[in-house]
Amino acid sequence: MEAASPNSYIRVVQHLIEKCILFNMTKEECMEALSKHANIKPVITSTVWKELEKENKEFFEAYGGSREERKAMDSETLESMIHNLHNNVSPSSSSSSSSLIR
């Protein structure tokens, strides 16, 4: 079987992080879950998470509220935020941080 490219691997990690966010998980909970269930090293999850934070500051500021506030968000709002997260990652962006998630 052919090895996945680094870009496709990062996209998989990004997708799994987004799933963790839908379950209102913290960064640490996400790192633990992906390590246990997807065999992704915590350092990889942490790195991709940090790059997503750089690219989507407003989203992560809102997401960084208390756990109770996140749980109070209805799923439609959270899905809209995830959709916006995807739209903020521009393939034409030339910054080095965005190249991680292209």
pLDDT computed for residue 68 by the predictor: 61
Tell me if residue 84 falls in helix, strand or coil: helix
In DSSP notation, 27-83 reads HHHHHHHHHHHH---HHHHHHHHHHHHHHTHHHHHHHTS-HHHHHHS-HHHHHHHHH
Q: Where are the domains of the chain?
A: 6-85
Question: In Å, how far are 21, 41, 74, 97, 100 from 29, measured between CA atoms?
Answer: 10, 13, 21, 23, 22
Residue 9 binned pLDDT confidence (cut-offs 50, 70, 90): very high
What 34-43 contacts at long range (C-beta under 8 Å, 24+ apart), as own/partner pairs, is: 40/13, 40/16
What pTM does this model have?
0.65
